[in-house]
Amino acid sequence: GAVVSQHPSRVICKSGTSVKIECRSLDFQATTMFWYRQFPKKSLMLMATSNEGSKATYEQGVEKDKFLINHASLTLSTLTVTSAHPEDSSFYICRGIMNTEAFFGQGTRLTVV
């Protein structure tokens, strides 16, 4: 069945560095990718919606220059956390859309030290 493969599953980085998270849609073409983050004991919050070949649409309060989203192809979308700080430590998860169904990645646990 359709799968979204998200990597890495866990990453620890130093403050000030950038981290790239990839989501690949396997066996299907994801025309739309949603990106979420989850704080401890909080809901998954939608960060942005990206459509293949166009700029991402960010939710209110999400810094687009800090969370760079690229959806250059129908099978790959990336989220880059630039100049990461400890407050960016969180669980990030993508969700790819195929026709009228959606499939989640496994999530990435980011820890900034």
Partner 1 sequence: GDSVTQMEGPVTLSEEAFLTINCTYTATGYPSLFWYVQYPGEGLQLLLKATKADDKGSNKGFEATYRKETTSFHLEKGSVQVSDSAVYFCALSDSGAGGTSYGKLTFGQGTILTVHP
Residues making contact with partner 1 (CB under 8 A): 3-4, 6, 9, 32, 34, 36, 38, 41-46, 49, 93, 95, 97, 99-107
Query: Could you tell me the smallest distance in angstroms from the CB atom of residue 83 to partner 1?
Result: 27
CB of 102 to partner 1, least distance (A): 5
Nearer to partner 1 (CB atom), residue 4 or residue 21: 4
Torsion angle of alpha carbons 78, 10, 25, 57, nearest 10°?
A: -40
Nearer to partner 1, 84 or 93 (CB): 93
Shorter beta-carbon distance to partner 1: residue 43 or 54? 43
